[in-house]
């Protein structure tokens, strides 16, 4: 079973999950096994291979066939069945590996990537994410839900079949907690959401805006950490997918689809991480909408991080966001 260990020096938790070594791409496996391509015929995420995944949590079907399904992660780092407990002696503090770890199989088609998705594929994807955000919220032991997609080996994916992951944590990670508190304080001081002010400034500056519609802005942040990094931010008072109406989801699909067609045209099949930021479950209420905005971050992994970044947390970005914006705008 996995466990969290607390570091007194950094005040951060590390999750130890030795079971993960058994994943398709283990430490000792050769690169050819990467993404399970050798096992392509046995890909457990394909249509007709449902028996090779753990029991299904939910699915979206059309014309009698599934289009999108959620299953527990076979190589889970956390378990919803683990008891929620922590222990502490004079030196060390640890906690059980309680939490949720799910896989969203975004399409039954092995060869379809997110830049190939049509509107219907994207709606199904966001609808199923919304359902999980709403349902896991009912478990009041969970404080935070991390929703992300790793695409490509450089981004940490171990399967090439398009998928996302959901990890539910019993506490707020330090980074999330600090950033959330900061946004709360900002609202107290200015009576405006920090994200609203950032959007106002980016829109006034203009050079980093790739596209926008009535509900979302797509832009390369002024101080992007990664080359070609983008954010999709809600202009409306939406703090979580759980609050989205059908038309909000529709506007989100439109801008996501527009982005990924530009992504593929500009960069091709490069690895990326996509993080879908919803307000934490902990302390969530009507007030949350005042200061937090739903947003998506997409970070292409073209250049590698090294020692300096690990030492200082300062990222070295070799592409200015205004340059990236220009390239994205010209790509379609």
Contacting residues toward Zn ion, per CB under 5 A? 43, 45-46, 110, 161
Question: Least distance in Å: CB of 26 to Zn ion?
Answer: 19
Given the complex with Zn ion, which of 65 and 174 has the nearer CB atom? 65
Given the complex with Zn ion, which of 20 and 110 has the nearer CB atom? 110
Distance of CA 165 to the CA centre of its chain: 7
Question: Angle of helix 321-330 relative to helix 246-267, nearest 10 degrees?
Answer: 100
Q: Residue 36 corresponds to which tokens in the numbers above?
A: 């399970």
- Bridge partners of 79, per DSSP, are 98
**Residue 80 CB neighbour total at 10 angstroms:** 17
Given the complex with Zn ion, which of 35 and 145 has the nearer CB atom? 35
What is the edge-to-edge ordering of all strands in the sheet holding 209-212?
58-62, 65-72, 100-105, 163-169, 144-151, 272-277, 295-300, 230-234, 216-219, 209-212
Residue recorded with tokens 């938790």: 13
Is the C-alpha dihedral spanning 198, 123, 284, 88 positive or negative? negative
Question: Least distance in Å: CB of 201 to Zn ion?
Answer: 43
Given the complex with Zn ion, which of 105 and 210 has the nearer CB atom? 105
Given the complex with Zn ion, which of 52 and 308 has the nearer CB atom? 52
Question: Least distance in Å: CB of 23 to Zn ion?
Answer: 15
Question: Least distance in Å: CB of 159 to Zn ion?
Answer: 7
Question: Least distance in Å: CB of 299 to Zn ion?
Answer: 24
């Amino acid at each position: 079973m996995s466990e969290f260990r607390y570091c007194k020096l950094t005040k951060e938790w590390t999750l130890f999950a030795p079971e993960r070594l058994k994943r398709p791409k283990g430490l000792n496996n050769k690169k050819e096994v990467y993404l399970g391509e050798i096992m392509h015929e046995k890909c457990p995420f394909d249509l007709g291979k449902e028996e090779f995944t753990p029991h299904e949590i939910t699915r979206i079907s059309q014309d009698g066939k599934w289009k999108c399904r959620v299953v527990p992660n076979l190589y889970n780092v956390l378990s919803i069945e683990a008891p929620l407990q922590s222990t502490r002696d004079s030196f060390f503090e640890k906690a059980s590996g309680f939490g949720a770890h799910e896989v969203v199989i975004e399409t039954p088609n092995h060869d379809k990537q997110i830049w190939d998705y049509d509107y219907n594929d994207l709606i199904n994807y966001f609808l199923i994410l919304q359902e999980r955000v709403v349902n896991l919220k009912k478990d009041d032991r969970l404080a935070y839900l991390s929703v992300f997609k790793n695409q490509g080996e450089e981004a940490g994916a171990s399967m090439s079949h398009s998928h996302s992951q959901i990890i539910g944590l019993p506490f707020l990670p330090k980074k999330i907690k600090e950033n959330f508190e900061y946004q709360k304080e900002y609202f107290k001081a200015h009576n405006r959401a920090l994200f609203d002010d950032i959007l106002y400034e980016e829109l006034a500056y203009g050079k980093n805006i790739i596209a926008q519609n009535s509900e979302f802005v797509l832009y390369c942040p002024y101080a992007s950490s990664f080359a070609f990094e983008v954010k999709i931010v809600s202009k409306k008072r939406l703090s979580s997918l759980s609050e989205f109406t059908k038309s909000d989801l529709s506007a989100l699909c439109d801008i996501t689809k527009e982005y990924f067609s530009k992504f593929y045209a500009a960069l091709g099949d490069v690895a990326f991480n996509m993080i879908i930021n919803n307000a934490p479950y902990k302390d969530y209420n009507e007030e949350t909408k005042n200061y937090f905005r739903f947003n998506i971050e997409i970070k292409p992994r073209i250049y590698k991080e090294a020692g300096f970044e690990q030492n200082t947390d300062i990222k070295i970005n070799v592409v200015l966001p205004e340059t990236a914006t220009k390239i994205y705008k010209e790509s379609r």
